[in-house]
Amino acid sequence: MLGRTANGVFWMARYLERAENTARLLEAGFRMALTRDQSASHEEWRSVITTVGAAFDYEAVHGTEYSGDKVWNFLLRDKGNPGSVLAMIEGARTNARAVRTALTREVWEAVNESWMSLKDVLARPVREPMLGEVLAAIRRQMTLVRGAMEGTMLRNEIHNFTRIGTFIERADNTARILDVKYYVLLPSIAWVGSSLDNVQWESVLRSVAGERSYRWLNAGKMDPRGIAEFLILDQRFPRSLAFCIDKLRSNLFGLAHEYGHETSAHELLRGLGTRFHQSSIDSILEGGLHEFITLFVACNQQVAQAIEYDYRFYA
């Protein structure tokens, strides 16, 4: 396949994943803000913006006023936000269009229909009563695309590059959520037992669609160490860092198998995997969650760059 095509499916998948994750993050933030007083809810919205790394762009448009409707409209549809859900869907669709010949008809149509319907949904500012429905529509569309991929794509290099894009992006997103909320997961003595904790923790889980899974596994008992462990190390949870690394490995090694040789990306990923397997939640917390996450995000980024280079995405 063409290097440009690999690049196209890779970024299509990344944009779709990011659009979905942004919607989930907004959903958690929205729920959170409803349970807080105004100044605390502004703080919550600010952390949503920080998580997606859009503080600079946001403040260029709205200054430092972090009210709910400004934040969600900014993240959903603002022209001044290159990372808005709308821009992501458009980016995914543009990439899909450029690599149409690499996609099954069903995948292309699912992406194209998502773009058509969400473009409509996001054509006007989203008011509070509609927010829930809009976020649900975004998730639903992304689920349709994923279903079309799962059900129709040939399991070859094209599929591998698509999946690699998905998991690079997902790992990055989960890591960023952890990073912004790490103070919640590292409670000082004073916070323990306050009614806020449970809501905060649940919000973290909710933003990665993990609240129910976590409750099943822990019989409803919330504790920050357990949540951090779940999001970082639990290989059964599809949005955990460990899960993403595992999937990256199987897809990257699928490529090595098909091509008959490994590349520098394999090397890097192996290094990351080893470090991961040697970690326990205690050692991670001890060394500092923030430090761990920062390193992880950088390594993940390196793997992505190595893939782009090794497989001639651009040159």
Partner 1 sequence: MTHSPSSFDEMLTAEGTVRAAYSGYREWYDAQDPLALRRKGAEAEGFFRKTGITFNVYGDDAGEERLIPFDMVPRIVTAAEWRKLSRGIEQRVRALNAFLHDIYHRQEIVRAGRFPQRLIAQNEAFLPQMVGFVPPGGVYTHIVGIDLVRTGPDDFMVLEDNARTPSGVSYMLENRETMMAMFPELFTKVNVRPVQDYPRRLAKSLAACAPACAGERPVVAVLTPGIYNSAYFEHAFLADQMGAELVEGSDLRVVDGRVAMRTTRGYTPIDVLYRRVDDDFLDPLSFNPTSVLGVPGIMDIYRAGGITIANAPGTGIADDKAIYSFMPEIVEFYTGEKPLLANVPTWRCSEADSLAYVLDNLADLVVKEVHGSGGYGMLIGPTSSKKEIEAFAAKLRAKPDNYIAQPTLALSTVPIFTKAGLAPRHVDLRPFVLVSPQGTDITPGGLTRVALQKGSLVVNSSQGGGTKDSWVLED
- Which residue ranges make up the site for partner 1 (CB under 8 A)? 1-6, 94, 97-98, 100-101, 105, 108-109, 112-113, 116, 157, 161, 259, 311-312, 315
Q: Supply the minimum distance, in Å, between the C-beta of residue 15 and partner 1.
A: 15
Q: Supply the minimum distance, in Å, between the C-beta of residue 6 and partner 1.
A: 5
Residue with tokens 């529509």: 137
Q: Supply the minimum distance, in Å, between the C-beta of residue 100 and partner 1.
A: 4
Tokens of 73: 């409209």
Nearer to partner 1, 116 or 130 (CB): 116
Nearer to partner 1, 89 or 208 (CB): 89
Say how far apart CA 33 and CA 66 lie, in whole Å.
11
Cβ pair 284, 228 in contact under 8 A: yes
Nearer to partner 1, 256 or 297 (CB): 256
Nearer to partner 1, 4 or 277 (CB): 4
Residue with tokens 């993403």: 244
Nearer to partner 1, 76 or 158 (CB): 158
Q: Supply the minimum distance, in Å, between the C-beta of residue 250 and partner 1.
A: 18
Nearer to partner 1, 277 or 312 (CB): 312
Tokens of 305: 């760059």
Q: What is the DSSP string of 223-291?
A: -HHHHHHHHHH-TTSTTSHHHHHHHHHHHHHHHHHHHTS--HHHHHHHHHHHHHHT--HHHHHHH-HHH
Nearer to partner 1, 49 or 307 (CB): 307
Say how far apart CA 5 and CA 235 lie, in whole Å.
30
First to last CA, the chain: 14
Q: Supply the minimum distance, in Å, between the C-beta of residue 106 and partner 1.
A: 11
Residues 6+ apart with CB under 8 A from 232: 178, 240, 241, 242, 279, 281, 284, 292
Q: Supply the minimum distance, in Å, between the C-beta of residue 311 and partner 1.
A: 4
Q: Supply the minimum distance, in Å, between the C-beta of residue 247 and partner 1.
A: 19
Say how far apart CA 175 and CA 296 lie, in whole Å.
8
